[in-house]
Chain A
Amino acid sequence: MSDDNGKGAEKDIGSREQFEEMVKRLELSDNSLIGLYRTMCTIRHFEYMADKLYAAGKVHGTMHLSAGQEAVAAGISQAVRPDDYLINHHRGHGHFIAKGADINMMMAEFLGKDTGYNHGRGGSMHIADFQSNNLGANGIVGGGIPQAVGVGLALKMQKRKEICICIFGDGAANEGVFHEAMNMAALWNLPVLYICENNKYGMSMDVEHAVAKLPIAQRADAYGIPWACVDGNDVVEVYEAMKTAADHVRAGKGPYFVETITYRYFGHSKSDRNLYRSKEEIEDWKRNRDPIMRFTKHLLQSEILDEGQAQEIDTQAEQVIVKAVEYAEASPEPDISTLMEYVYA
C-alpha cells in the first residue's frame, strides 16, 4: 500500500535510474510516456477551463472536477484498449478525455449545446460516447457499479475479448450495490476491472470517517477478488497496476480491484466552500505531490522531453481546450421544439 499521509515535504520521486528501469520493465516507449503527459495536461486544462467558464456564469448546471487526479485517468487508459468498455462516475471528465472522447463534443455538452454528446440533455454528469464504448457517467453515486456486472456478463456470453472498466469514488464504495456487484462479478468470473478512485473525500466526508477498515480495496478479499492499492498520483505506478489488473481480467481470470490514492484540488462541486479541509492540506498536495509536476520532473530528468518541448505540449493541450470552448460557444442550443424527443427509443 502506498504512503498516503500527504503532509510535509515534497514527495521524493525516486532516482532517474529507478524510473528508467521501471519504464523499461513496463515497455513504455517514449511516445507512450509523452502521450501520458499530453493526456494529463489536456485534462488539467479542461478542468481549469470548466472552472473558469463556471465562474464566468456560462455553465447552467453543476460539475465535478478532477484536477489533481489526472494520473489515474491517464494511467488507466494507457493500460487498457480503446475498445474496452467504460462505466464512469460523476467525476468523469478526465476518464473520458483519456479514453479519447471528442473534446469539442464534451465541451458542447458541458455548455448544454445541441452538438454535445447528449444533445444538451445530460451535461457534465452524463457524458457518454457509445461509439467508443464509453457507457457514460452517472449522477447516482455507485449507480454504475452493478451495471458493470451486466456489461461483463454480456461480454462473457458473447465470447468477446474486451473488458469492462468500472470507475467510482471512495464514497460510492459504501453503497449497498457495491457489495452485491462485487459478489456477482466474482461469482460469475466476469471480465470487470473495478477501480476505486480514492480522493480522500466523498462530498466532504473523509474516508477515515466513512470506511470502517482501510484500504477500501481489501474488501475485495471478501469476494476472492485480487486487489491492489497504489499511489494514484504516480502515473507509471497507476499504469503498472492497471496493466497487471487488465491482463488478469482479459485472460478470463475474473474481476480485479484497484484502489488509487489521489486528491482533488477543486471543491466537490460548484457549491463547495472547502469547509471540511484546510488550505494548507490542499496546498501541500498541489505543491508536493502533484501528478503532472512529478511526471514532468521524470521526463526532464530522463531527457525524454526538454523544458521547451514540455511547455509546447502543454500549450498545445491548452489550445485544444480553447478551441473546444469556441466550438461549444458557437454551437446552437437544442431547439425547444425537440423537448419531447428521446424519451422512448
Chain B
Amino acid sequence: MPELSYLEAIRQALWQEMKRDERVFLLGEDIGRYGGAFGLTHGMLDEFGEERVRETPISEATIVATAIGASLLGMRPVAEIMFMDFILLALDQMVNQAAKMHFMFGGRTSVPMVVRMPGGSGSGAASQHSQSLESVLMHFPGLIVINPSTPYDAKGLMLSAIRNPNPVCFVEHKILYKTKGEVPEDDYTIPIGVAEIKRPGRDITVVANNIMVIKTIHVAEKLSKEGIEVEVIDPRTLLPLDTKTIIDSVARTGRLLVVHEACQTGGWAGEVIASVVGSPAFDYIDAPVRRLGGKDIPIPYNRGLEMAAVPQEAEIEQEIRALVGGKI
C-alpha cells in the first residue's frame, strides 16, 4: 500500500473528491499558487483552476459565510482557515449560523460544508497560532468535529466529511502533517462518530486525540515490554462522541486516563470522564479516573516552555504507571 503523509492524505481526499463531484470546491486564504500556509493545497490550482480553488481576501467570517451560502445552493465547499486560532473570527458564522440552520429552520435545509483548520502546538508559533480549540467547537450541537490522528483516518474521514450533509469542523494537527502512514489509493470512507481502538490492551484505557494518540501508542509499546497492556482509543470524531466504545473498554480494563493537548479546564476529557463514571462501567472502575490535558496557559514560544505546556510521553507514561500500579 502506498505511504503518504497526513498532509498528502488530506490533499488526496480533496483531489479525488473534486474529480468525482463537481460541486466540491475549495476556498481560503493563499490556497492557490502558495498552496496554503502549510502547502496542503499545493498543485490544486493548476489542476482545478481558480474557480474551484478560490483564493479569498483575509476575511475569515466571510469565508465561512460564503461556504454556508454556497452550500445552501447545493455546492459542497471546503474552506480552509489558515490556523485554527482564526476560526474565532468566524465563530458567529460557524456557531450562530451554520450549526443552527438545520434545526432553526425546522429541518428544511442543511449546510453541507467542511471547514478545515490546523491546530496544535509544537511549531514555535506561540499563543495565537497554536491552540487546540476542538473542545470549544464540540460544545455546539449541529456541528460535527473531526480530529484525525493518522494519514489513513485523515483521508477516510475527509471523504466522509465532504459527503456529510452537516457543517463539519475538520481539525488537523500541524505537527502531524509530516507523519507517514499507509493510505490506499482508492475511495474509502471512515464513519463519523465512530471511535477506534488503536491498540488493544487489558490493563488501562487511554483515550487520546490527534497527536496524543501517536504519543500514547509509543508509550504503550514501551510499557508492553514490561507486561503493562494499554488500550488506546482514538475517538476520531469528538462531536458526536462515541462514548459506547470508551465505556465498553473501561468496563474491561477498569482504568481510564484521557489525554489531550487542549487546555485541561473545560477540555473534552471532562466529557469523556463524566460519560464513563455515569455509566454502568462505574462498577468496574478499579482506580481513580484521570485526565492529562494541556496546562491552563496560553502556548508559549520558547521550545522548552512550549513542550512543557502540553502532555509529553514521559508524563503520559508516568500517569499510566501510577494508575496501573495503584499509586494514585
A residues contacting B by CB (< 8 A) are 85, 87, 116-122, 126, 128-130, 135-136, 138-140, 143, 146-155, 157-158, 164, 176-177, 180-181, 183-184, 187, 341-345
Select the residue from B65, B101, B110 with max chain A CB neighbours within 10 A: B65
Please indicate which of the listed interface residues B68, B92, B106, B166 has the most CB atoms of chain A within 10 Å of its own CB: B106
Are A180 and B142 in contact, CB atoms less than 8 angstroms apart? no
B160 contacts the other chain (Cβ, under 8 Å)?
no
Q: Does B51 contact A (CB under 8 A)?
A: yes
Q: Which of A118, A120, A187 has the most CB of B within 10 A?
A: A118
Given A147-B68, A153-B70, A344-B102 contact (CB < 8 Å): yes
Could you name 6 residue pairs across A and B whose Cβ atoms are closer than 8 Å?
A122-B106, A129-B108, A147-B97, A149-B66, A150-B71, A154-B74
* Total A-B contacts with CB atoms under 8 angstroms apart: 134
The answer on a CB contact under 8 Å between A150 and B142 is no
CB distance from A236 to the nearest CB of B (A): 31
C-alpha gap A248/B59 in the complex (Å): 26
Which of B59, B66, B103, B111 sits near A342, CB closer than 8 Å? Answer: B103
Q: Other CB < 8 Å A-B pairs besides A128-B108, A147-B68, A150-B66, 18 of them?
A: A128-B109, A130-B109, A146-B65, A147-B93, A149-B62, A150-B68, A150-B71, A153-B54, A155-B73, A157-B75, A177-B65, A180-B61, A183-B57, A342-B102, A342-B106, A343-B102, A343-B103, A344-B144
A45 and B259 CA atoms in complex are apart in Å by: 60
The answer to whether A184 and B61 have CB atoms under 8 Å apart is: no
Are B107 and A116 in touch, CB under 8 angstroms? no
User: Measured between alpha carbons, how far is A341 from B105 in the docked complex, in Å?
Assistant: 12
B69 within 8 A of A: yes
Contact of B288 with A by CB under 8 A = no
Decide yes or no whether B285 CB sits under 8 A from chain A.
no
> Please, which residues of chain B bring their CB within 8 A of the CB of A143?
92-93, 96-97
Closest-by-CB residue of A relative to B74 is: A154
How many angstroms between the C-alpha atoms of A154 and B112 in the bound complex? Answer: 13
Q: Which residues of B contact A153 (CB under 8 A)?
A: 54, 66, 69-70
CB of B112 to closest CB in A, whole Å: 8
Q: Is the CB of A135 within 8 A of B102?
A: no
B61 near A177 with CB under 8 A, answer yes
Pairwise interchain contact B102-A150, C-beta atoms closer than 8 A: no
Distance between B113 CB and nearest chain A CB, rounded to angstroms: 9
User: Considering the complex of A and B, which 8 residue pairs feature the smallest CB-CB distances, nearest first?
Assistant: A150-B69, A146-B65, A345-B110, A118-B106, A154-B73, A119-B106, A180-B59, A180-B62
Residue of B nearest to A182 (CB): B62
| Residues of chain B with a CB closer than 8 A to A148's CB | 69
Closest to A139 in B: B96
Chain B residue numbers with a CB within 8 Å of A150 are 65-73, 77
Partner of A184, one of B62, B93, B106, B111: B62
> Chain B, 84-95, contact with A by CB distance < 8 Å: what is the 0/1 string?
000000001100
Chain B 118-135 against A: per-residue CB contact (8 Å), 1 yes, 0 no? 000000000000000000
Residues from chain B with Cβ under 8 Å of A184 in the complex: 56-57, 59, 62, 66
Please indicate which of the listed interface residues B25, B66, B103 has the most CB atoms of chain A within 10 Å of its own CB.
B66
Chain A residue numbers with a CB within 8 Å of B103 are: 121, 342-343
For the complex formed, measure the closest distance between the CB of B50 and the CB atoms of chain A, giving whole angstroms: 10
Q: Is B165 an interface residue (CB 8 A)?
A: yes
Which residue from chain B places its CB closest to the CB of A179 in the assembled complex? B59
Q: Please, how many angstroms separate the alpha-carbon atoms of A148 and B65 in the complex?
A: 8
By the criterion CB–CB under 8 Å, are B74 and A149 in contact? no
Q: Is B314 an interface residue (CB 8 A)?
A: no
Q: Which residues of B contact A118 (CB under 8 A)?
A: 104-106, 108
Distance from A181 Cβ to chain B, minimum over Cβ atoms (Å): 5
A138 to B92, CA, bound (A): 12
- Asked if B141 is at the interface (CB within 8 A of a chain A CB), the reply is yes
In the assembly, what is the distance between CA of A129 and CA of B25, in Å?
Answer: 26
- A333 → chain B, closest Cβ, in Å? 14
A328 to B165, CA, bound (A): 31
Whether A345 pairs with B65 at a CB distance below 8 angstroms is no
Closest to B105 in A: A128
- The answer to whether A342 and B92 have CB atoms under 8 Å apart is no
Report chain A residues within 8 Å CB of B112.
Answer: 345
Task: Quote the shortest CB–CB distance from A258 to chain B (angstroms).
Answer: 20
Q: Which residues of A contact B96 (CB under 8 A)?
A: 139-140, 143
Report which of B25, B68, B142, B166 forms a contact with A157, defined as CB distance below 8 A: B25
Closest A residue to B93 by beta carbon equals: A146
